[in-house]
Structure 1
Amino acid sequence: MTQPLHIGLLGAMPEEVGSDLSHLTDLSCSDHGDLTIHRGVWGDNIRLSLAWSGWGKVSAARAATRLLASDPGIDLLLFTGVAGAADPALRQWDVVLADAVVQHDMDARPLFPRFTLPALKQDRLQPQPAWFNWAKTALLEAHSAGDLDGFARPSSGLIATGDRFIGDPAVLQALRDALPDLQAVEMEGAAIAQVAEQEGVPWLVLRVISDGADEAAAQSFEDFVKRYEQKAWRLIEALLQRCNSTPPQCP
């Protein structure tokens, strides 16, 4: 008998997932210090373990570690929320699924090349192709079907993570120079990916553009998040509705 799909869902803030948990049934929760893990069922047989990590790499890594330790058997760790645009062509409500992530503030030179994670001896981390392809296809199908009203057509690309809210054009340009294919910047995704990689769990990072990572970023971010909360769950549900085509789960 196939076990129910179990997804670990994380966002930095409640607004980034949709703080209303009424879309889940059989709800329970557990507290771990100041972190609350909510558990429930979506639809007939998809289990969700959900938490809001707080901002930054340490908070994100802590939440991911606690989630995986508290709920063994998670099939996929998904981090979602908003991000700043690094590619000037991106606008608010554009959707970016990471095909790779990098910690832009990781720099152990001269011992390791810039961006390289010593524990993994890699700079860019990439999601497992089967899970990435499933999510990309599911999002494109949802958009074509009109299930992502208000969101732009999903795309994919490199997302960079660091412990800095980027609202300075000079800082952003320096990152673009160092990472020419960079699409978006945020503060948690690559930390989640590193934890998942080291724990042997598939992961995905899904972001929606909230601002241009420029002088107006702070105000744009605050205004956008208030509107985004009303639509955030729509993006998650687009994936959940298409879980019949997810990669095979480990027994």
Structure 2
Amino acid sequence: MLSKREILLAVTFLIIGALVSSIAVYGFMAAEISSLKSEIEELEKYAPPKERPIAVITAFPGELDLIVKEMNKTGKVEVIKIGSWTFFYGTLYGKKVVAFFSGIGKTNAAAGTELCIARFNPKAIIFTGIAGGVPEFADIGDITISTAVAHHDYGRVIPPGGLPGVEYPETADLIRGFVPRGVPIFKDGKKLRIVFFNASTELVDLALKAAKEIDFGVVPGTNRTPVVRTGIIVTGDQFIASTQKCEWLYKVFNALATEMEGASVAQVAYMHNIPWVIIRCHSDRADDIAEKIIKEFWRYAAVNAAKLTLKMVELWPESM
């Protein structure tokens, strides 16, 4: 039979053992909770903001500079780097805005837009910058607001002149051996083939309203002021500097401007049901001398495209 002293020692050891175990468990739990808290904080960095911003996208820095400059004037701008993209997130005229340049070309534009949507969940997308005017009347300095966009370089390559006995659609460029087609899209369980992606009519109307309040100045070296039009913009991974190609783009697509990003942005936005519009100021006429002309006018065109975009944000209605 155990003495009282032995019983007391046994109970004491049991209590000490229980306390040690509790401390170990508590320490483990505290470490787990701290680790979980850190993981949550890290995830929150990448969670979309509660207030959905307006996304403003350009192809290269020179088109973005004025946008970011204005954002810095109106409040604190947070610089967020993800992969190869740098996003400027802040306030512009009292509205939440995220702005960035995607890089030139269709792949850069699509990848940047997808990342922007995943990270910021924007309520609308404005892609803004320079482009080449397609028809002769779409002159340097003029502005095209997209009603729709299309990929002009998606399709089938055929022998120049076509194959004997084969009928081709009127849209075929038999001189170069190319037949354009709609882009295949899988959405809501359906396979679609889309030629034209339609811009938001509300954003087009807002752009037209904003344009009426802007003094774009005189086109350098001329006495004419820019003309603002709505119409079709075409996109391809090609810098167009060919009068003959322009004639085909106008004939087939009725295009007013050609560039290298817009349709890719529109396609991604369409997949996510996000309204969008493309704003383009003509830096050249995409003709045989376009490579020379763009060097003279791209800054003027980039600034005017940015001016229109800024005014759109300023006039942005609460209902949108």
Give the TM-score normalised by the residue count of structure 1: 0.86
**Which residue of structure 2 lines up, in the alignment, with residue 37 of structure 1?**
87
**2:135 aligned residue (84, 87, 92):** 87
Q: Deviations over 1:130-182 (max 9, x none)?
A: 2322222332x314xx4x33462311011100000000222222223322x21
Where 1:184 maps in the other structure, the secondary structure is strand
Q: Is 1:225 aligned to 2:298, yes or no?
A: yes
Structure 1 unmatched ranges of 5 or more: none
**Which residue of structure 2 lines up, in the alignment, with residue 159 of structure 1?**
233
Q: Offset at 1:243?
A: 1.0
Decide whether the 8 Å contact of 2:140 with 2:282 is kept in 1.
yes
**Which residue of structure 1 lines up, in the alignment, with residue 202 of structure 2?**
130
Residue pairs, 1:1-251, within 5 angstroms: 6-19=53-66, 21-24=68-71, 25-44=75-94, 46-72=95-121, 74-107=122-155, 114-119=180-185, 120-139=192-211, 141-143=212-214, 146=215, 148-150=216-218, 152-179=226-253, 181-244=254-317, 248-249=319-320
Structure 2 unmatched ranges of 5 or more: 1-49, 158-167, 169-178, 186-191, 219-224
Distance in 2 between the 1:172 and 1:229 partners?
A: 21
What value does the CA root-mean-square deviation take over the aligned residues? Answer: 2.2
Q: Offset at 1:121?
A: 2.0
Decide whether the 8 Å contact of 1:18 with 1:229 is kept in 2.
no
Which structure 1 residue ranges, 4+ long, deviate > 4 Å from structure 2? 229-232
Q: Deviations over 1:63-103 (max 9, x none)?
A: 1001111102x111110111111111011110110111010
Give the TM-score normalised by the residue count of structure 2: 0.68
1:228 to 1:134, Cα distance in 2 relative to 1, 3 A:
closer
Give the number of the structure whose residues are more often helix, by fraction: 2
Where 1:214 maps in the other structure, the secondary structure is coil
Greater relative contact order (CA < 8 Å, ≥ 6 in sequence): 1
Decide whether the 8 Å contact of 2:243 with 2:288 is kept in 1.
yes
Task: For 2:246, give the aligned amino acid.
Answer: L
Aligned length: 236
Distance in 1 between the 2:150 and 2:70 partners?
A: 33
Decide whether the 8 Å contact of 2:89 with 2:98 is kept in 1.
yes
Where 1:18 maps in the other structure, the secondary structure is helix
Distance in 2 between the 1:16 and 1:98 partners?
A: 18
Distance in 2 between the 1:159 and 1:101 partners?
A: 5
Decide whether the 8 Å contact of 2:90 with 2:98 is kept in 1.
yes
Distance in 2 between the 1:224 and 1:238 partners?
A: 22
Where 1:118 maps in the other structure, the secondary structure is strand
1:116 to 1:230, Cα distance in 2 relative to 1, 3 A:
closer
Decide whether the 8 Å contact of 1:108 with 1:116 is kept in 2.
no
Task: For 1:14, give the aligned amino acid.
Answer: P
Q: Offset at 1:40?
A: 1.3
Greater gyration radius: 2
Moved more, 122-131 or 82-91: 122-131
Distance in 1 between the 2:244 and 2:307 partners?
A: 35
